[in-house]
Amino acid sequence: MKNLTFDNGIEEYDLDGKVTVKFNPTDVAFLEKLSDSFQVLDLIQEEVKLSQEEITDEKDVFNLAKNLDTKMRDIINALFGQDVCTPLFGEMNLFASAGGLPVWANLMLAIADEVQNSMQGELKKREARIRKYTDKYKK
């Protein structure tokens, strides 16, 4: 039996030297999950902002932050099909800030940037490869 191998575009990414994930950054199904995750995470972030204004009891604020942190972790972990939050963030709440953004946003924006760069690179490769075959058969 012959064995055919082909490039499926799945890339392996090391996240801060703590966890490895695999996905095809040009896969529309992954892009849809990424987009959906961003939308839900943004809604949760807004919920935190509104709650900070309304909730005055410190214990209630901490409980809300823990509950929403758990939701955010579930969404991010579901995106990758594995627990990435525990190795990346440990017990840190995902609303913690770094570089002016919540740490969850820093991770997701890094993924979004990689997706955008990969899409642009693949389009260039595709054009060159198609041109190679069209030139060959144009003769």
pLDDT in tens, 60-94: 888 888 999 999 999 999 999 999 999 999 999 99
Task: Give the domain extent around 61.
Answer: 13-138
Q: Is residue 8 part of a domain?
A: no
Tokens 């996240």, located at residue: 15
Q: Is residue 98 part of a domain?
A: yes
Domains identified in the chain, total number: 1
Let me know: does 19 contact 90? Beta carbons within 8 Å.
no
Residue 103: what pLDDT?
Answer: 96
Q: Is residue 4 part of a domain?
A: no
Q: Is residue 2 part of a domain?
A: no
> In this model, does residue 54 exceed pLDDT 90?
no
Query: How far, CA to CA in Å, does 88 sit from each of 19, 94, 131?
Result: 7, 10, 43
Q: Is residue 24 part of a domain?
A: yes
